[in-house]
Amino acid sequence: MSVLFALWGRGYQQRADEAAFLTQLETLHLQWFSAEEEGRTEDATEHKIRKSREEGKVARSQDVSAAVVLIFASVALALLAPSILRGSLEMTDYFIRNSTELDITRDDFLVPVFFHYFVRLTLPIAIVCFIAAILGNLMQVGFLFTTKPIEPDPKKIAPDIVKFIKKSFLSMEALFNLAKSTGKVAIVGLMAALNILSDIDRILNLVNSSFIIGFQLIAWIAFRILIQTSIIFLVLSLFDYLFQRKQHRESIKMTKQEVKEERKTYEGDPFVKSRLKQRMRELMQRTMIQNVPTADVVITNPTHFAVAMEYKRDSMQA
């Protein structure tokens, strides 16, 4: 009998644990599918905007920075093309002339020579791109230095899968990014086709031209494609910036309760402030009533206010 009671008690406990687990699971699902911005109808206060900026949460479009970098890199590449070409020919000539003397097993000789030419050819373009990237960000958010975005965050290590899928595939931002990426591919293809078709006759005649002439033509076509595409990307990135700014403002909206709590924190409790004002009015009214007997004249308005006036000829100025 005791064994039966023990088995029955164990089964009852197991069913209770399962019911508790299902209850927690239902609660968890409700949290997953609840709207993140539910109840956030109030615009962010100045303090909330400033705090978000300090945390690195600002309206910024990566397309603006990318377009600025692409324009600067294209112009720098066009201006430095003769120098880069001479350096490439010099490096090729050096390795060909010294091919019989070079020992590829000696890293202390081959690697420094290679990096000498590599750095000389790529460093100017890299510096221009670095400056352009900084300029693209300064144009959007101004000067801002914060380490908050790179600090460890447990939420980033174990994100909400449902929330991630919803944001990545089912949100307005995901649809906008999809349309933006598709448009970029179409623009690059269109610019390439238009530029190639405009010089199709010269391209077909390259078989009768020298290598230098062919290289110059291909480089000129590629440069035109880069410049035209980057300018179009820069114009389109302005719309992306406006969209990102709208999304940022929506993301930092506050509930009415949050606004009320913040106002209490920085401006004081409205109830306490009203009570203080009431006490001040009572104190002023009591003081005025006490001074009425010493007044020389009292001017009254039956419906609005009364004025008590005192004048001492010997001690007061007229």
Q: What is the pLDDT of residues 166-215, one digit of tens each?
A: 666 667 777 888 888 898 899 999 999 999 999 999 988 888 888 888 88
Residue 155 amino acid letter: K
Residue 207 amino acid letter: V
User: Average pLDDT for residues 255-282, to the nearest whole number?
Assistant: 76
Let me know: does 221 contact 195? Beta carbons within 8 Å. Answer: yes
Let me know: does 207 contact 51? Beta carbons within 8 Å. Answer: no
pLDDT in tens, 126-166: 999 999 999 988 888 878 777 676 667 666 665 566 666 66
Confidence at residue 162, expressed as pLDDT on a 0 to 100 scale: 65
Confidence at residue 9, expressed as pLDDT on a 0 to 100 scale: 46
- Does position 106 have pLDDT exceeding 70, yes or no? no
Mean pLDDT of the chain, nearest integer: 76
Confidence at residue 6, expressed as pLDDT on a 0 to 100 scale: 40
- Does position 277 have pLDDT exceeding 50, yes or no? yes
- Does position 5 have pLDDT exceeding 80, yes or no? no
Confidence at residue 274, expressed as pLDDT on a 0 to 100 scale: 78
Compute CA distances 7 → 1, 14, 54, 96, whole Å: 10, 11, 60, 87
Highest mean pLDDT among 107-111, 196-200, 287-291: 196-200
First to last CA, the chain: 109
Q: Give residues with Cβ within 8 angstroms of 262, minimum separation 6.
A: 45, 47, 48, 254
Let me know: does 69 contact 136? Beta carbons within 8 Å. Answer: yes
What percent of the chain lies above the pLDDT cut of 90? 14
- Does position 11 have pLDDT exceeding 60, yes or no? no
Give the torsion sign (CA, 235, 238, 240, 243): negative
